[in-house]
């Protein structure tokens, strides 16, 4: 493996991440030195806060455009406020966000041998040229890797009938009623299943960085890019296996062949 060390950065608003469990999982799976650290965005500087505030998305149907952030937008970043699970969530361009964070990794650790995995509750999105609109993403690959805990919840779609039921009434009472009706069928904030699912995303991040290959198209593989919550549950909680192709790649990476 080209990776000799992995650094995991915590997102304290999401205790389900369980960094120490992840650290053990990586060490046991890849035999790579792993270190856990506090939140990447804490105790940073004004320059970084301004740049991150500048990665906000304001029009879902247009590619990213740089803008000068307002004082309020910068203040939100400075205070590291949790903006997830809000009625109107703040969206960030995932690639711009990843690029900015890369600039603030120290020179001695900004190398291809050290993979940085940054957890954040910020909702990262990427612009899709196929339908010309932004989509929420759980994982922005490369180094550093960005794993959006909000993206894990919001990106994969809920059951179709859930959205059809919502179309009849958008009052808070009705939304709560429908959420209760479909409870368990999709991931929610502070969901105990989050920890195990995050483990799968970390596996995807490492395999992507090592092989350069994107997500697997096979639902029977833990590297599958789930677009539906039910598929996410299957690949990460029920099946938890790699397809034959990626199992072979995994063996090569870990010198098991």
Residue 30's CB: how many other CB atoms inside 10 A?
19
> CA torsion sign, 198 to 84 to 15 to 39?
positive
Radius of gyration of the chain (CA): 18
**Which of the four pLDDT bands, split at 50, 70 and 90, describes residue 44?**
confident
Within 8 A by CB and 6+ apart from 54, the residues are: 66, 67, 68, 69, 96
The CA–CA distances, whole Å, from 107 to 42, 77, 104, 114, 144 equal 19, 23, 9, 11, 13
pLDDT at residue number 96: 97
Is residue 219 within 8 Å of residue 231, measured between CB atoms? yes
**Which of the four pLDDT bands, split at 50, 70 and 90, describes residue 65?**
very high
| 52 has pLDDT over 90 | yes
Q: What is the helix (H) or strand (E) element at residue 25, kind and residue range?
A: helix 19-30
Residue from 96, 106, 126, 89 nearest 225 by CA:
126
Domain interval for residue 246? 5-255
Q: How many residues does the chain have?
A: 257
CATH label of the domain that carries residue 173: 3.40.390.10
Measured in degrees and rounded to the nearest 5, phi and psi for residue 122 equal -70, 140
Determine the Cα–Cα distance for residues 194 and 129; give it in Å rounded to an integer. 30
| 170 has pLDDT over 80 | no
How many domains is the chain built from? 1
pLDDT at residue number 50: 96
| 115 has pLDDT over 90 | yes
pLDDT at residue number 213: 87
């Amino acid at each position: 493996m080209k990776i000799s060390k992995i650094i995991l950065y915590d997102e304290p608003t999401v205790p389900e991440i369980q960094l120490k469990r992840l650290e053990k999982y990586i060490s046991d799976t890849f035999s790579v030195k792993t270190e856990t650290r506090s939140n990447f965005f804490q105790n940073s500087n004004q320059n970084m806060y301004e740049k991150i505030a500048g990665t906000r998305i304001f029009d879902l149907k247009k590619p990213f455009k740089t803008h000068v952030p307002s004082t309020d937008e910068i203040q939100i970043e400075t205070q590291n406020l949790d903006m997830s699970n809000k009625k109107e969530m703040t969206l960030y361009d995932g690639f711009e966000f990843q690029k900015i964070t890369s600039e603030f990794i120290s020179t001695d650790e900004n190398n291809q041998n050290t993979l940085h995995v940054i957890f954040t509750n910020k909702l990262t999105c990427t612009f899709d040229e196929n339908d010309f609109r932004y989509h929420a993403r759980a994982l922005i690959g490369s180094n550093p890797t960005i794993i959006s805990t909000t993206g894990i919840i919001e990106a994969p779609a809920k059951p179709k009938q859930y959205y059809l039921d919502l179309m009849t009434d958008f009052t808070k009472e009705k939304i709560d009623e429908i959420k209760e009706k479909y409870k368990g069928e999709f991931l929610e904030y502070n969901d105990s299943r989050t920890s195990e699912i995050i483990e799968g995303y970390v596996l995807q991040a490492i395999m992507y960085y090592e092989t350069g290959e994107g997500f697997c198209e096979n639902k029977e593989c833990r590297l599958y890019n789930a677009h539906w919550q039910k598929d996410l549950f299957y690949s990460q909680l029920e099946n938890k296996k790699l397809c034959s192709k990626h199992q072979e790649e995994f063996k090569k990476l870990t010198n098991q062949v």
